[in-house]
A and B are shown apart, each in its own frame.
Chain A
Amino acid sequence: MKRLFLTLAVAGALWTVACSGNGIVNPPPPVGKYTKASLNGQYAFVTNGESFTGGLSATPLARTGSFTADGVGNITTGVEDVNAAGTVSPALQITGGSYTVNADGRGTLTLQLGQNSIDFGITLTSTSDGLMIDETSNSSQSSTGSGNFIKQTPGSFQVSGIAGPYVFDFSGLDGNQTLPCPCPESFIGEFTANNGAVSAGFFDDNDNGNFNGASFAGTIAQDPLQAATLSSFGRGVALVAGQNYVFYIVDSTRVRFISTNGGMLSGDAVAQSNIPTSVGSINSSFVFIVAGSSINGGITRVGRFTANGATVTNVLEDTNDGGHFIKTDSGTNASITLDAANPGRGTFTFTDPNFLNAPGKYVFYLSSATQGVIQEQTTNNSGAVDVADGTIAAQSGSPFSSSNITGTYALNWSGLSLQNGGSFNVQDEEDLLSQVNVTSLNLKGAADIFQFQSGVPVFDLVTSGSISIAGDGTSSTGASSRNTMSVTLTKSNSTTVNFVVYFVNPQLAFFTNNQNMNRIVAGVLKTQQ
């Protein structure tokens, strides 16, 4: 383990300094169908990560905004809202910029903000969306983080464009300014919007291990200080359960939020429709992924279960808790419930054979019969075991095999790794964005990685690896149903990261690393369209 870490740390340093040296391996010329014209229009973007600025230590950073691409390599306008550990910089004007798109969908994006600029690596997953990592490393700022961008529908840029029921997942840091906070917070729930009024809201909050759930109301409005940003960028302000946010409308089905009064919460609200109204109508397998903080450090959990009404079987879960890996096979006493008072809200519980006296518990809000958000609420007599949330999605398209796990995918992971900061080794944020071509379950492609302690991202790593398919988790021997993936990154040196992978469908998978205790990362593998 230590050797791998050292390899990675040293490799990071070498990647940084050896760009013109010998022994550097570069990926082959990209092939594919994408061009600069593939990025054309207005896109709402988000990233979550860290920044270095003004000589301070790395500070948590969330940004949400909108940029306009002209289809020929220029960013013409935009705006973003930034929250750095609770310090808000509102409505920063994007005055220009540029972008590139390679044939494989990988590219770069630079947003100019007056005299300053921020840089991203991007991988298109279609002409309507893509994944991105912050790769800013200049004299005024270094910042990293993972996120995505989605094409906006300007016709919905009005308060009334946010209408009907929505579910949301806002996560990050709370607004507690008393040392040693801000502290981790997960805030998920649902509300109904109608011409600026927010009603029928209900939330589940895990603020630093303190659970709270309650109904709420709120408002959605034009920003009185930046009124024109609503019609121009879909930007406005919202009050949700007493907390102020800025929002960006993607379209009537998705709105992106970032908090603006203390704390640093951000996430999407997704329109809710066609949700099951009784447990009996749920008959599907689900994959879930959550990430957050535990008392041991960072934590990721990826898993799956099969629901046939309230009866739940085939529970599998893989946990990376502070660099310690826990396999949960054959969770027992598993069940799901639906909350009759709050449509789409429910719970999933099971007995983890590893923790017989602290059953796993999750609360979820479904946005449809196949999608939702999820928050872990596992406790023991002393309190919450973590603050973590994420996504739940119905599993389909199995059996998974080389026949349907094929084609080109965007790959992104984010989390913590042990890195060499120059003066000493330390845990810090790691973000990777790649594009891979999967053939016969072998991966080949290219990636950018930003191990933040180095201060400089590393570009165009040769990416290779393989996927091992064991099933969809429904076999009688759950432990044998785990799918795995190894990803090898090569520049002047190479390192391999091993993952356990849960396929939602052949086009989408969630994964977390399950070896190498010096890394806690989770990610997504998403097909390119």
Chain B
Amino acid sequence: MIHTNRNRIRLGILALGIVLGFISPGLAQQSTQQDVQQLRSYNLGREVFLLGTVIKFTTASDTPPMGAHVILQTSSGQIDVHLGNAKVLQAGHLELSPGDSVRIVGETLVLGDTTYFAARIVHKGTQAVAVRNTKGFLTTPASVLTPAQKEALRGVR
């Protein structure tokens, strides 16, 4: 996904809002239930990006949603980001280690009584891997198969 500079600025502001939302219970409490309900589905119009440094990467976290999580140190604090299926990152040859600088496109979603930041695209340097599609559903390793790899699947019985 390519953002224009203008979009980047706008998204940067929104990202700050997201960050503040994570670190300010007061702001979170201002959300009406109806607002929260909208966070049950993914909306490209709400997307922001986070810039940060990897503090911890976990391929299988014990914090819902199930899957890979990364804790990012941003300018506004630490944020736990859900990255979906770690095998997708592996298939995309994107490794995350403490100290890595990353840019993550995504948005806040709700799960039960809590919110979390759901990644859609993870950028590290020149690498980018989509861990969600534009509707927010998690991608699978099948999403990144090359035509040659797809052809090789004809050997499956």
Contacts and interface: CB of A to CB of B under 8 A. Distances in A.
Interface stretch (A190-198, A303-311, A317-325): A317-325
Interface in B112-139: 112, 118, 130, 132-133, 135-139
B152 A53 contact: yes
A298 B140 CA distance: 12
B59 interface: yes
B2 interface: no
A522 to B, nearest CB: 14
Given A84-B153, A85-B153, A425-B60, A295 B41 contact: yes
Nearest to B36: A357
Interface stretch (A214-222, A375-383, A439-447, A483-491): A375-383
Nearest to A117: B157
Contacts, number: 193
Interface in A342-389: 355-358, 379-385, 387
B65 interface: yes
A57 B141 contact: yes
A57 B66 contact: no
A51 B156 contact: yes
A398 interface: no
Interface in B88-106: 90-91
B139 to A, nearest CB: 4
B91 A383 contact: no
Interface of A is mostly: strand
A356 B36 CA distance: 11
B145 A295 contact: no
A173 B137 contact: no
Interface in B72-93: 82, 84-87, 90-91
Contacts of A92: 157
A380 B41 CA distance: 7
Contact of B139 (A87, A180, A298): A180
B62 A518 contact: yes
Nearest to B114: A324
Interface string B48-67: 00000000000110101111
Contacts of A385: 40-41
A477 interface: no
Given A58-B87, A82-B157, A322-B111, A418 B60 contact: yes
Interface of B: 33-34, 37-43, 46, 59-60, 62, 64-68, 82, 84-87, 90-91, 109, 111-112, 118, 130, 132-133, 135-145, 149-157
Given A89-B153, A209-B135, 20 more contacts: A5-B62, A53-B155, A53-B156, A54-B153, A57-B87, A57-B91, A57-B142, A58-B87, A84-B154, A85-B150, A140-B155, A141-B155, A183-B137, A295-B42, A297-B84, A322-B66, A324-B111, A418-B66, A424-B60, A426-B85
17 contacts: A1-B62, A84-B153, A85-B145, A85-B153, A89-B153, A179-B130, A208-B133, A295-B41, A296-B118, A297-B84, A322-B65, A380-B37, A381-B38, A382-B40, A382-B42, A426-B59, A427-B66
